[in-house]
Each structure stands twice: as structure tokens, then as C-alpha cells.
Structure 1
Amino acid sequence: MNNLHLGTLLLGALLFAVPAAAPLSAAEEAEHPVFINADEMKWDSAPPGLPAGAKATVVYGDPHKPGPFVVRLMTPAGYKIMPHWHTRAENLTVISGALYLGGGDSFDYSKAHALKPGGYHYLPARMHHFAFTDMPTVVQIHGEGPFDINYVRQSDDPRGQVR
């Protein structure tokens, strides 16, 4: 057996022998792979920039710092995020449920596009958009941090509202 084939076999065995791990610190991220199953994710209330009722988990990185990140957002049925924008581009994949996304400065159900499980959406930086669900939904968002959310109308920003 040649060394290349033996090395490939050992690497494959090692990958299957390593247990799933929680996300690593920013310093460790670049040096180690991350393995995490859905049932190992720790969910908490979504950050105050989002309406109350959703849960969030950081899968990889730190969305508040420069660098790559992956987060998941779990929303109840009837969840709405009013028109807003982000300083950086947003990549979104629906894991379960359905997410409806529309563009512009006004929330308009009729202008939304439905994304089903496995559906993907790319949104350029600073593009105004809104979102809602009609069933419990989980989405994965990834991009380059720092991630922010800026509401088109200040009155729609939940950070100034009692939760």
C-alpha cells in the first residue's frame, strides 16, 4: 500500500472518530474543523435587534466581529421582520418551514417570495427587505461580520421596545 493511500485511509478514519464539537473560539476557528449536529446547538433568545419570539444560535464565528460567521434563527408562525437592511451582504438558507422575503421600504405580503426547505437567498449589502413566516421556521444565515440590522423606520426597531 503506498503512503498516499495509507494517509487517505488514516485521515478518513480520523474524521469519523472525532466526536462532534461545539463552536470554537475565534482564535481556534482557523486551525480546527467544526462538527456540530442540530441537537447539540444551544438556542437562546434572538438578539434585541430582532422582534421578540425568535431563538438564535451561533454555529460558527462571531457575527459581531470581522470574519466569517454562521447563525441559525428559529421563528414561530406569524413572525415578522419589518423593512431593514444590512451593511454587509447576507446569505440565507431555509432549513425547515418557509420564509417569505420581499424587497423595498414597505412591508407588503403580496410582494414576498416564498423560500422552502433547502431554498437559498443572497441579498447584496444595503438592500432594503422584509421577512415573515406563516409556520415555525428555521433559517441559516452566513456571511462576513460584523453583522448588523438597520430598520428603514426607527419606529419598527425592536431595540427601543419593551420585550
Structure 2
Amino acid sequence: MTVLSGTLNFGHGKTFNAGETQALTPGSVAIMAPGEPMFGQTGNEEMVIQLHGTGPWGIEYINPEHDPRK
């Protein structure tokens, strides 16, 4: 993942913890291993990321209530 604009506070783990995030600013890159749980948070600004890799892939929400597709 590459941050194109804005800031993404990104962390690893099954439970959201704002204190465990790293601020990723434009040009930052994060490696996301298959099956590894992670979380992110943005502020009040618009943020754009680019996801790139070899598929197939998908998003699985740990808490189904957080899935915006439902």
C-alpha cells in the first residue's frame, strides 16, 4: 500500500489501538502480509491510498458490524 495523499494511522493486530499506530504520510509504503490483521484510522482530511499486489485478495472484517458492505 502507498499513501498518495493525507495521513493514514496504520497498525497491526486484531484489536484497534490508536497508540500502536504509525502515521503514514504521502509517499509512505506499508507491506501487508496475507492473513495478517491490521487496522487504520484517518483524521478529518481526505486520504487516498493505492493498493498494489498480486491477487486474488480481499478484506475480511474482524468485527462484521464494521463491514460497510452490509
Give the structure-2-normalised TM-score.
0.88
Letter in 1 for 2:42: T
Q: Secondary structure at the match of 1:95?
A: strand
1:133 corresponds to which of 35, 42, 46: 42
1:28-67 pair list within 5 angstroms: none
User: What RMSD, in angstroms, separates the aligned Cα atoms of the two structures?
Assistant: 1.1
Name the structure where helix makes up a greater proportion of residues. 1
Structure 2's unaligned 5+ residue stretches are none
Q: Distance in 2 between matches of 1:156 and 1:137?
A: 19
Name the structure where strand makes up a greater proportion of residues. 1
Q: Which has the larger radius of gyration?
A: 1
Q: Secondary structure at the match of 2:53?
A: strand
Look up the match of 1:151.
61
Letter in 2 for 1:110: G
Look up the match of 1:94.
3
Q: Secondary structure at the match of 2:35?
A: coil
Q: Residue 147 of structure 1: CA displacement?
A: 2.3
2:15 corresponds to which of 106, 117, 138: 106
Larger RCO, structure (CA 8 Å, separation 6 or more): 2
1:73-92 pair list within 5 angstroms: 92=1
